[in-house]
Amino acid sequence: MQCLAWRTLDRYRAALSHFCEFCEEAKVPKIDAVTVATVEDFVRFLRGQTRTRNGHQNGKRRQYKLTGIKFILGACKTAFNWAYQRRMLPPYASNPFSDFKCSALRDSETVDKEVRIFTAQQEQDFFAACSEWQRGLFLPLAQLGVRAGELTHLLISDVDLDSRVIHIRSKPEMLWRVKTRRRRVLPLVDTLRVLFEKLIAGRKVGFVIQNRAFAAGTQQPARQFKSDREFRQHLARLLDAQHESNPLAQERDLRKAAMKYCRTIGQVPIARLRLEFCDLTKAIGCPEFTRVHDLRHLFTSRAIPAPLPAGSQGWRYD
């Protein structure tokens, strides 16, 4: 569990909380009373539940999809394996979630969906509709294939314009980690090098991608730093002070505190990328594209040795 991303840990906690809620409602007396029949009842319980996307309080509530139910069952299976290894279950007891045939689950409303990828014309229309600030958000995603969180956490110290590379790496001081835990070095093509020079604009410290108000100069950072090291040390001290004032604070609380402070020095929230992306796709008549991750799919479609639609190669963004 310690090697998982924070968001993944939150998803596991939410999954297990569903099972705890079910056990309380079904009056399951103890852990060794859970059988395959109990798991079947749990699945029926989940099919009757609703949730909002990404846990948003004011979002539209929908029923769980089959993939969501399977994720919850997988989390419970892992939890029972953990309990067995620590002798919390009777000897020779089997894992009821392992015995349950999860592969047999079917969703009548589920259909095979192809990964959505912009056509050459849609891609051209999308970037033509971008403002200069939006172009700085989405062009790196399409040409580098980085994730949205990797872009919003990219610091100026991660960019080497002379060597024409950027470093994708975790930021422990912000309690943020790369999903794969692997540090990557990506090349900067000429178009992106020019773009990053404009985005950095001579700054020495801070985030490469700035919030709209900071990029426009209408809002200034809460504090100026002389070096990247000074910024990281200051953030570490803030989190230490937060923990001292509340010793019971969980990592999630500290992570939120780090995010809140980073907003004051210009970091773009990931949710802002999603909103800007959806506004653009609606404007060009492609409302079916609702995920920023679709730009990563666009990059992947070029990276694999497969034939592409005519005109998809060679589109210039400048």
What is the pLDDT at residue 313? 41
Q: Whole-angstrom Cα distance, residue 159 to residue 151? A: 11
Q: Are 302 and 142 in contact (CB under 8 A)?
A: no
Residue for token digits 């609702």? 290
For the record, the structure tokens of 181 come out as: 């835990």
11-58 pLDDT per residue, tens = 888 888 989 999 988 888 888 788 889 999 998 888 888 777 655 566
Hey, which residues does 166 pair with through a beta bridge? 159, 186
CA-to-CA separations, 61 to 11, 104, 192, in angstroms, rounded: 17, 26, 40
Q: Whole-angstrom Cα distance, residue 153 to residue 262? A: 10
For the record, the structure tokens of 174 come out as: 């912000």
Residue 90 has pLDDT above 70, yes or no: yes
* Lowest mean pLDDT, pick from 71-85, 91-105, 189-203, 287-301: 91-105
Q: Whole-angstrom Cα distance, residue 66 to residue 57? A: 22
What is the pLDDT at residue 3? 59
Q: Does domain 6-104 have CATH number 1.10.150?
A: yes
What is the pLDDT at residue 85? 84
156-194 pLDDT per residue, tens = 999 999 999 999 999 988 888 898 888 999 999 999 999
Ranges in the chain annotated CATH 1.10.150: 6-104
